[in-house]
A and B are shown apart, each in its own frame.
Chain A
Amino acid sequence: MPTPYIKLRLFNQSIALLLSRNVLWLLLALSLSILCLIVLSINTGSYQLSTLQVFNILFNQRSDLTSDNIVWLFRFPRTLCAALVGAMMALSGAALQNVTRNSLADPSLIGISQGAALAVVSSMMLFPDLDQSWRSMLAFCGSILVALLILVLSHSNKSSKPIRFILLGIGISAFLSAITTAFLTYGEIYRASAALAWLAGSIDAASWQDVRILSGSAVVLLPLLILGSRAMAALRFGEQSAICLGTRIDSTKYLLISCSVALAAIATSIVGPIGFIGLIAPHAARRLCRSSVAAHLMLSALLGALLVLAADLAGRSLIAPSQIPAGILTQIIGVPTFLYLLLKQKARSAM
């Protein structure tokens, strides 16, 4: 009888993964689904291009300039951006949930997205002449500052319990949202509507530069999370057990939380707040297949990519030429999921 597991050892056993066949099949199925969705996305749009024309343009047979631009400057980077943002948001959520041992942890719930939103909205209101290219940098700084604030406040000499991190995050998130709402309510009406458009979270303006930033960040941060998967697995049993298993709790936790925050901050800085992917994807991955932490991270990333790709494709084609931002669609799916998880957790704790 063949073993149901495949052992994967990399970098002189620094990374050792035990992957079940089910996980492998699921990884393969998700990868194929993403590939199909990418092909569909590149072939879909208001500008009429046949599949053959798109194929020709992609494989270096020059077409007219507009058709070339449609495929190479609009559809392709947008599609890749959607996949990368989804994967990064999902990874961020999965890592946060593992480290904090709280299944409700998500970058959009603990203030990271709200930090980005406040930084961008306040700059749009107070400095309307500021070039749009600054928005990514401001969003990134906003997210990082909020994450640092939560980390500093949640850490005390006595304890640094995960629940403290989550509760502080939710509190700061509400506080930041209130300030952002004040800016939108009392600010100049046209600036407010422009800010609202950014807050909806959309991938419509994606460029190759964005693809480079996202993929570069993913290449650096994903291996760090995979390396930390062993520590995350130990943390699943609680901090005391993890210490007994030889895990350096504080340094590992801060490294993993930093990676998680960086993933969400970079993704948000490029496309605006796309909520709940960090919540939905890890939960869906858990439900689809029991797996190790590292495999769960990979499954979450693929599911996140699939979700945002689908949301963006639906948003730009369902009622075209009107566009529904991907962030709105993910929230429509995400809010009921969040409520379901919340109720489920409440029922479990009551038992």
Chain B
Amino acid sequence: MKKTILRTLLIASVAAASALVTVQVSAKTFIDDAGRSVQIPDSAQRIATLHDSVLTIPLLELGIFPVASHGRVSASGVPFIRGSKGLTGYDFDNSAIIFVGSSPIDIEKLASVKPDLIITTPWQKATLAQLETLAPTVVLDYNKRSRSEMFAAIAEITGSQAKLAILKGRYQQQISRIKRIVDTKKIKVNVLQASKGKLIVWNSYFNLGKVLRDSGFEFPELVNNIESGERVSFSAENLQELDADYLFVTYRTDKKHTPDDAIEALEAVVPNFCNFLSACKEGRMMVMPREEASSNSFTALSIIAYNVLTHISGKPYLKNN
């Protein structure tokens, strides 16, 4: 009898010890951007991302399918992951990713997919107090991290640093190619966006800005004076100060806009604006979809790098300068 009790106690303590070891091995600690220490499962299988373009697309590019994602709803009522179909090929209609709403997401819908890890941003209105009751929740703040730092954090959380290194290598190769072919230091570029009668300029404009900066292009002084990561609205009076050798203007394809919409918005700021911008007058103003120019995506960076190289290299203008 005594022997049986002792054996049972021994088995129980071994089981408890191994369970403890399992718990220690299967979780890691991550300090998120809200300053919280979060215990993250090492091999999270059911990740939910609560910002489509900032979190879901990077996760897909790192080869991980979230079980659920925040999304947007088109005018016809169809949910979509902004920019994803064009960049990753995946969306709600052709994958198992469940749409859980916008901001705020539907907390019950999120609960129904039984996530084991939630990644969110401060932009999401669903509160941490609610999200934490469903699964460990990590906050990544794009106001505190650059785009590449966001990618690095997502890779660290999901243990996909190897895949990230490959994507980074591909991007570096593309930037090196631009630098080899174009004398970027001699060329001034800028990205313009017109909205509600104002000219909005970023330092620098997301993916497009990153490619242009990493390639070593120059920017107008007015743009360099903007604090890094911030945007400033300018009036029509500043139009010529924002001129450059090459100008980039973007429009939203997710809202079915066309290049005409971008031009129309600029016309609303300054009628016949083209006459006041040398880049426009001489055919060096490129109008491109905003999804690739602004998404947090290595595929988008590739597309932008290719476009920048194609549009700027081999132009007679460059030879004259």
Contacts and interface: CB of A to CB of B under 8 A. Distances in A.
B133 A323 contact: no
Interface string A58-75: 000000001001100110
A321 B99 contact: yes
B96 interface: no
Contacts of A74: 107-108, 111, 130
A66 B127 contact: no
B3 interface: no
B108 A47 contact: yes
A47 B73 CA distance: 21
Contacts of A205: 104, 125-127, 129-130
B104 A202 contact: yes
A207 B134 contact: no
B73 A322 contact: yes
B143 A128 contact: yes
Size range of the chain A interface in the assembly: 20 to 34
A179 interface: no
A191 B103 CA distance: 13
Contacts of A319: 77
Interface string B34-78: 000000000000000000000000000000000000000100010
Contact of A186 (B122, B123, B233): B233
A128 B134 CA distance: 26
B112 A46 contact: yes
A296 interface: no
A25 interface: no
Nearest to B143: A128
Contacts of A48: 112
Is chain B's binding surface mostly helix, strand, loop or mixed? loop
Interface string B102-122: 111111110110100000001
A190 B133 contact: no
Interface stretch (A193-201, A218-226, A240-248, A299-307): A193-201
Contact of B123 (A69, A194, A202, A321): A194
Given A47-B112, A188-B231, A321-B100, A204 B107 contact: yes
A189 B102 contact: no
Nearest to B51: A190
A74 B133 CA distance: 10
A204 B104 contact: yes
B171 interface: no
Contacts of B233: 185-186
B180 interface: no
Contacts of A47: 108-109, 111-112
Nearest to A207: B129
B183 interface: no
Contacts of A207: 129
Contact of A46 (B102, B108, B129): B108
A273 to B, nearest CB: 15
A326 B19 CA distance: 47
B106 A322 contact: yes
Nearest to B230: A188
A188 B134 CA distance: 31
Nearest to A68: B133
A63 to B, nearest CB: 13
A322 B102 contact: yes
Interface of A: 45-48, 66, 69-70, 73-74, 128, 132, 185-186, 188-191, 193-194, 197-198, 202, 204-205, 207, 316, 319-323
Would you list the 4 A-B pairs with minimal beta carbon distance, nearest first? A321-B106, A321-B101, A47-B108, A46-B108
17 contacts: A46-B106, A46-B108, A47-B108, A47-B111, A66-B114, A66-B134, A74-B107, A189-B231, A190-B142, A193-B123, A194-B122, A194-B123, A194-B125, A202-B125, A204-B107, A207-B129, A322-B79
Interface of B: 73, 77, 79, 99-109, 111-112, 114, 122-123, 125-127, 129-130, 133-134, 142-143, 196, 230-231, 233
Given A189-B231, A205-B129, 8 more contacts: A46-B112, A48-B112, A188-B231, A193-B103, A194-B103, A194-B123, A197-B125, A204-B107
